[in-house]
Structure 1
């Protein structure tokens, strides 16, 4: 029986890793769409459209019963707090997107996994093995080598992204606590309801009538963002925050690929060295978890 329980736990964690990896791929695709949109549209309006799209999908899938369950959920207030931190991170991150390349944006942001790992110890009481700390450090070194963020200086956009990393780190730890207390569809509904509530008035004040191309991008932001959130919630149920944190580094690989495909950014040699380190970090986290569960 003990062996079966160990096997089930291992499979659960590995499933969480796959779900989380898929979520970060979708978040990267969403980020590229948003970077295209922020050139002519406020972050508030993008958030408004995204939240409205996701809530529409929730209504189509769950119907009135889902909304009734959400109203009576015990995470209504905790989700409000988490959404506030996520909102603040959103505003910092995507306002900085006007001035930084997608790769630069992602690089500076990757202080977040270290923040998540540290907070998971003090807030969630998770025990983080030495090899997992090593994976986080290797991943961050890979990000540093790939982009050399020191040349960016401490400009306002860089400070905004650093602020976003800290706020997102807090939000991820809070998400871990709420993810265990409620099913994912209710979390998705509440999260985007609060976003819609926060963004409606500013979106109307700084309204920009979108053209057909922008409407298509807004629809993609809603689709990618909604599915990414759902996968992240599901991954959180299966994977400790300190395991999940280094998986965020995979977003850097997607950021470079999308940057090249959309804006023609050609990666330097250092990018490939950094990418290799990031892959090593990801394989280390998966491999050590697999080995630990076999013991």
Structure 2
């Protein structure tokens, strides 16, 4: 498939990714409830279990070819490993860093995506995408307002988690050139769940009814979000979609108010405005670029 065909629907990709990150923000809200009583690997295993059950059924029903016979199978295994370590690093860093510091550090990931898209995918990053990405990152910094010097080790953990997530995002774009969204979801979540299960002898705690409902609900939301996100990356370049990840912070503010009555400060609204502006700049740039090409 040519580069032109892959990039023929960037606005559709942007819209899908916006919805996907809204789902992931809801996922983070559920995880925030669950980590008070359960270990991260157990939560993530249940999440992966639901994704594997749903995507596995659809893969067999639609008779998709096995991704483990694909020339990109090594990329699928690598992506599963990257996601596994990204989750573990991020949630362990959250035990030591303030939320503002954690958020600022983690949202370096979209910037990393832009650099990796040049290196791995040979994508051309134009001025509009760079501008949107930088404005979005400034918005995150303003909204998070980190005022204390973070501890070195948790800071390194969070930055490394952002790097792993960015790399896994690039691999989605790479594998999507030849593999369907469902087969990617099935294979990645299967490997991810198996990795989490290794720790069960030491961390497993049988969930109560509410915990089980939340874990299964987490899996359903993650399935929907992951499918939409993968589809988005099939329609637009990774560098174009990188700034859209910043909208996840806005959803985090909304969910924080809805579930915990957390009212954002003035700087949060200012940062959110910059984040929205970065997405508006990106959409306007893509429309102008598309009109120029046609």
TM-score (norm: length of structure 2): 0.91
Matched residue, 2:15: 18
Is structure 2 residue 106 aligned with structure 1 residue 94? no
Matched residue, 1:221: 218
Matched residue, 2:33: 36
- Once residues 124 and 63 of structure 1 are traced to their aligned partners in structure 2, the CA distance between those partners, rounded to angstroms, is 30
- Once residues 206 and 281 of structure 2 are traced to their aligned partners in structure 1, the CA distance between those partners, rounded to angstroms, is 47
Matched residue, 2:246: 249
Bigger Cα displacement from structure 2, 72-81 vs 20-29: 72-81
SS in 2 for 1:151: coil
Matched residue, 2:236: 239
Structure with bigger helix share is: 1
Q: In the superposition, relative to structure 1, how do residues 69 and 82 fare at CA in structure 2: closer, same or farther (>3 Å)?
A: same
Matched residue, 1:282: 279
Is structure 2 residue 184 aligned with structure 1 residue 187? yes
Bigger Cα displacement from structure 2, 159-168 vs 138-147: 159-168
- Once residues 17 and 262 of structure 2 are traced to their aligned partners in structure 1, the CA distance between those partners, rounded to angstroms, is 27
Is the Cα contact below 8 Å between 1:38 and 1:97 reproduced in 2? no
Q: CA deviation at 1:108?
A: 2.4
Paired residue total: 289
Is structure 2 residue 156 aligned with structure 1 residue 159? yes
1:216-251 Cα distance to aligned partner (Å, 9 max, x none)? 110121011111111111111111010010000000
Q: CA deviation at 1:96?
A: 2.8
Matched residue, 1:3: none
Matched residue, 2:140: 143
- Once residues 290 and 77 of structure 1 are traced to their aligned partners in structure 2, the CA distance between those partners, rounded to angstroms, is 36
- Once residues 222 and 128 of structure 2 are traced to their aligned partners in structure 1, the CA distance between those partners, rounded to angstroms, is 32
Q: In the superposition, relative to structure 1, how do residues 101 and 215 fare at CA in structure 2: closer, same or farther (>3 Å)?
A: farther
Q: CA deviation at 1:200?
A: 1.1
Q: CA deviation at 1:64?
A: 6.5
Bigger Cα displacement from structure 2, 133-142 vs 147-156: 147-156
Q: CA deviation at 1:139?
A: 0.6
Q: 1:168 aligns with which of 165, 170, 182?
A: 165
Is the Cα contact below 8 Å between 1:48 and 1:203 reproduced in 2? no
- Once residues 107 and 187 of structure 1 are traced to their aligned partners in structure 2, the CA distance between those partners, rounded to angstroms, is 29
Matched residue, 1:85: 82
How big is the alpha-carbon RMSD for the aligned residues of Structure 1 and Structure 2?
Answer: 2.1
Matched residue, 1:125: 122
- Once residues 40 and 176 of structure 2 are traced to their aligned partners in structure 1, the CA distance between those partners, rounded to angstroms, is 26
Unaligned runs of 5+ in 1: 1-5
Matched residue, 1:50: 47
TM-score (norm: length of structure 1): 0.91
Bigger Cα displacement from structure 2, 109-118 vs 201-210: 201-210
1:172-215 Cα distance to aligned partner (Å, 9 max, x none)? 11221111120101000001111122111213421011111111
- Once residues 262 and 291 of structure 1 are traced to their aligned partners in structure 2, the CA distance between those partners, rounded to angstroms, is 39
Is the Cα contact below 8 Å between 2:16 and 2:229 reproduced in 1? yes
Q: In the superposition, relative to structure 1, how do residues 238 and 173 fare at CA in structure 2: closer, same or farther (>3 Å)?
A: same
Q: CA deviation at 1:156?
A: 4.2
